[in-house]
Amino acid sequence: MSGGVLYLVGTPIGNLEDLSERAKRILREVNRVAAEDTRRTAKLLQHIGSEAPLLSFHAHNERSRIPKLIESLRNGEDIAVVSDAGNPGIADPCERLVRDSIDAGITIVPIPGPSAFLTAIAASGLSAGRFRFEGFLPTQKGARRARLEALRYEPATVLFYEAPHRLAQMLEELENEWGDRAIVLARELTKMYEEFWRGSVKAARIEIEERPPRGEYVVLV
């Protein structure tokens, strides 16, 4: 191992009070911060008094950014990577950077933070002894259906992320592929309008028809 350190810094998923003291210190001390949304992260850095320069790092530029980040790390820079919310490397473009940094012999230090799916399952009431996190389902209908078919007989609790405008379609497909199972919809976690809805898939479909979904969701089945 040589050069600088790549810090994977967990950031709040909604409530700024959830940012750890360790994360604040790292974000103040590093040479730069690579972020999915620099405007959003700029507000966070301003809030904690960090003057670290920002660099955009997201799914659309990761291929060109990663070699430059690794070069900077090899030259001794300490770099923090943050996602829009939660821990980088989970359902975001940081995964490839981590793999390539390992291959390059870079020291990687995770700074744990809030996690939407762990927060959701802890308060869901569903079995948390075994669970399977799937992130977002594919956007293509065929690939999405194939994924659900592959998971149909999964005995553990399955967790997904979903956007509000796709939730109705997802629930319809869940009922078609899996039947009417127990489900929890967790939204706006740690925020003012945090909510857990518990019931069946069929009842959830009726619920969102009567009350259109808002905010980002964790879907637990």
User: What's the pLDDT tens digit per position in 102-160?
Assistant: 999 999 999 999 999 999 999 999 999 999 999 999 999 999 999 999 999 999 999 99
Residue 81 and residue 131 share a domain: no
Q: Which 3-state string (H, E, C) describes the chain?
A: CCCCEEEEECECCCCHHHCCHHHHHHHHHCCEEEECCHHHHHHHHHHHCCCCCEEECCCCCHHHHHHHHHHHHHCCCCEEEECCCECCCCCCCHHHHHHHHHHCCCEEEEECCCCHHHHHHHHHCCCCCCEEEEEECCCCHHHHHHHHHHHCCCCCEEEEEECHHHHHHHHHHHHHHHCCCEEEEEECCCCCCCEEEEEEHHHHHHHHHHCCCCCCEEEEC
Q: Is 169's pLDDT higher than 70?
A: yes
Residue 122 and residue 107 share a domain: no
CATH code for the domain in which residue 78 is found? 3.40.1010.10
Partners of 198 in the beta sheet? 184
Confidence of residue 41 (pLDDT cuts 50, 70, 90): very high
Residue 139 and residue 72 share a domain: no
Residue 107 and residue 159 share a domain: no
Domain end residue (candidates: 80, 111, 142): 111
pLDDT tens-place string over residues 61-110: 999 999 999 999 999 999 999 999 999 988 677 999 999 999 999 999 99
What is the pLDDT, as a whole number, of residue 5? 99
The position carrying tokens 């829009």 is 84
What is the pLDDT, as a whole number, of residue 90? 81
Residue 173 and residue 133 share a domain: yes
What is the pLDDT, as a whole number, of residue 109? 98
Total domains in the fold of the chain: 2
Residue 169 and residue 94 share a domain: no
pTM over the 0.85 mark: yes
Residue 103 and residue 126 share a domain: no
Residue 130 and residue 66 share a domain: no
Domain end residue (candidates: 84, 111, 138): 111
Q: Are 91 and 159 in contact (CB under 8 A)?
A: no
Residue 136 and residue 105 share a domain: no
CATH code for the domain in which residue 147 is found? 3.30.950.10
Residue 94 and residue 125 share a domain: no
Range of the structural domain that residue 42 is part of: 5-111
